[in-house]
Structure 1
Amino acid sequence: MLMAQGVNVAAEPCSSSNVPASSHMKGTNGIYWGWNPDVEKGVTISEINSATGKKASTVGLFSQISSPNGFDGHQLLNHLDEVKASGATLIASVMPNGLSFSEVTPAIASDVASVVKQFTNQGIEVWLRFAHEMNWYVRAGTYKGNSTQFKTAWRNIHAATKDITGCLLFWSPNNAKTLDLYEEWWPGPAYVDIVGMDLYVNTETSTFKTIYGGFYDAYAKGHNKHFAVPETATKPDNEALKQAWVSALASKNVAAYPCFKSVTWFELHKSWDYRVVMSRGEAAKEATMANFV
């Protein structure tokens, strides 16, 4: 679980002394840092660690539940040895793409728990991000169902994983226009360990407060939950914009937000080139790394 000096303090998340169990790479402001590697293009967390000269605190991987008949988690398990060797906490984003929320039964939840246990049995902490960006993916048609069905599915996942030492449930909607739009998707504080929100910024003046402040106050501070950024970068892929956002999260003073613990950067080249390390010029990479200790 999230640790401080080797002691389990998951029950006290909004404390600046309460840090991730995989306390490796961090910003000059003390926020722990990791990466979503471009595994579909063969990029590993070890390669990113080599490029940065630092061990990532978190590694984000994605997996789809492709059928209501079961989940084998191969997209995660294919990287188990790599994650273990890295020493990072795994942020496992499990997406119910091939079934509806109402089909996430206790049996499916048990399958998810079995996959998680294969990591935790190896001493790997898992932040389980079930059905992330649910408020966006339902509108896009990727997930099927409504918020009531989502909350039932979430609670099935919670029931299956709540006794797994080293597993924390991570609720992370997509950015919404107004704060009230998150509430229908909130499973309830008894079922969530970590909160966060996916967002890609487009202005160099963005700060933690302007982007996450309201959400943080409502769900992290408001419910005494850990806050982590599970997925972020910039649109467009302008270098000055990237550097401004990395700096805002890794080197600006965020002492006013003691629940805020970590950032996992979307280090992929997809519709945009979101990367700040891999395949960047030396000057750009050095500018990025100047934000870290």
Structure 2
Amino acid sequence: MNELNHRLGAVSSPYGIYSYITSQTYDGYELLGEYDDIIRSGAVFVASVMPVLEAGFTAIIPTVASQIASVMRKFPDEGVVVWLRYGFEMNWYRPEAAEPRYHGTPSEFVSSFRNVAEAVANNPMVSMFWSPNNLGGDSAETLDEWYPGDDIVDIVGTDFYPLARNQAFRRCYKEFYDRFLTGKDKPFAIGETGASGDLKEHWLRELVTQRKEEYPNYVSMAWFEYNKEVDFRLVMGNRSTLEDRRRILVLE
């Protein structure tokens, strides 16, 4: 992240790292392996924790939740704000999906989310981030059963990757935003997004040019800065286009 910030000439807002729960003993080694870089980055740390153990969501009992909370506590101790994106895309990584995958029902997910929320509740620098997959931008109603509740969700977000140039922010996010954010004093953060090829600049502008009047809760977006299946990289990839992208991200 420090190299990315150096190339941008600015400090990135969110810094996301993935971590897997594969048993009822959780040590967060993926997160702690980047500990020094996270601290130096100056970013909000988005800890994307995936409970992919065979026993499913029901395995995330209070003792396991306490282990998650212990790992998260190490970052606020150094002044880092943590958004705990627990069980993100819970509606996408279903048992029929390719690895990694979740096991369990919506109600079991909600119970596990609540266990984790209770475990971190005494740390004001750790927020619970609910981040389903938007599944095309037009299926917000189907997410109701996966929503843990206003009392324990601190940040509402969604993951979405556009596939066509005519995609617009409004089409992809407004229904979700209206359903889960309207009338609520909660931040809206895009947990994960990205585009490849010629679509990159179009989609980046869509993300950074929305009017505050229409989306007053919109606070941040996290771009998937990675070469996976396709090249999503904005900053760490093609240097010939870096200046254009830097101008969009930093100046627009």
Q: Is the TM-score greater than 0.5?
A: yes
Question: How far did 1:254 drift?
Answer: 4.2
1:261 maps to: 219
Counterparts of 1:42-61 in structure 2, within 5 Å, are 45-61=1-17
TM-score by length of 2: 0.93
**Quick check: 1:150 aligned with 2:106?**
no
Counterparts of 1:264-283 in structure 2, within 5 Å, are 264-282=222-240
- Alpha-carbon deviations, 1:202-256, whole Å to 9, x = none? 222322211100101111224332100111002xx222x1100001111343431
- Alpha-carbon deviations, 1:113-143, whole Å to 9, x = none? 0000001111100000000000011242610
1:92 maps to: 47
Give the secondary-structure state (helix, strand or coil) at the position aligned to 1:191. Answer: coil
1:27 maps to: none
Q: Contact between 2:131 and 2:159, CA under 8 Å: does it hold in 1?
A: yes
Give the secondary-structure state (helix, strand or coil) at the position aligned to 1:189. Answer: coil
Q: From 147, 164, 167, give the equivalent of 1:186.
A: 147
| Aligned residue pair count | 244
Structure 1 stretches of 4+ with a deviation exceeding 6 A read: none
Question: How far did 1:272 drift?
Answer: 1.0
1:120 maps to: 76
TM-score by length of 1: 0.80
Gaps of 5+ in 1: 1-44
1:72 maps to: 27
**Quick check: 1:219 aligned with 2:183?**
no
Residue type of the alignment partner of 1:242: K
Residue type of the alignment partner of 1:128: L
**Quick check: 1:290 aligned with 2:251?**
no
Cα distance in 1, alignment partners of residues 197 and 37 from structure 2? 31
Bigger drift between 48-57 and 220-229 goes to 220-229
Question: How far did 1:110 drift?
Answer: 0.1
**Quick check: 1:134 aligned with 2:90?**
yes
Cα distance in 2, alignment partners of residues 93 and 254 from structure 1? 27
2:123 maps to: 164
Q: CA RMSD in A?
A: 1.3
Could you say which structure has the greater relative contact order, defined with CA pairs below 8 angstroms and 6 or more residues apart?
Answer: 1
Bigger drift between 220-229 and 114-123 goes to 220-229
Question: How far did 1:257 drift?
Answer: 0.6
Bigger drift between 199-208 and 95-104 goes to 199-208
- Alpha-carbon deviations, 1:159-180, whole Å to 9, x = none? 1011112011000001135222
Cα distance in 1, alignment partners of residues 139 and 81 from structure 2? 33
Give the secondary-structure state (helix, strand or coil) at the position aligned to 1:290. Answer: helix
Cα distance in 1, alignment partners of residues 97 and 210 from structure 2? 35
- Alpha-carbon deviations, 1:152-197, whole Å to 9, x = none? 1000001101111201100000113522210110001001000111
1:244 maps to: 202
Give the secondary-structure state (helix, strand or coil) at the position aligned to 2:213. Answer: coil
Cα distance in 2, alignment partners of residues 59 and 153 from structure 1? 24
Cα distance in 1, alignment partners of residues 168 and 218 from structure 2? 13
Residue type of the alignment partner of 2:42: G
Work out the percentage of aligned pairs sharing the same amino acid: 37
Residue type of the alignment partner of 1:270: K
Question: How far did 1:52 drift?
Answer: 1.0
Counterparts of 1:226-241 in structure 2, within 5 Å, are 226-234=187-195, 237-239=196-198, 241=199
Cα distance in 2, alignment partners of residues 205 and 289 from structure 1? 23
2:171 maps to: 210
Q: Contact between 1:207 and 1:249, CA under 8 Å: does it hold in 2?
A: no
Q: From 93, 108, 119, give the equivalent of 2:64.
A: 108
Give the secondary-structure state (helix, strand or coil) at the position aligned to 2:92. Answer: helix
Residue type of the alignment partner of 1:288: R
Residue type of the alignment partner of 2:205: S
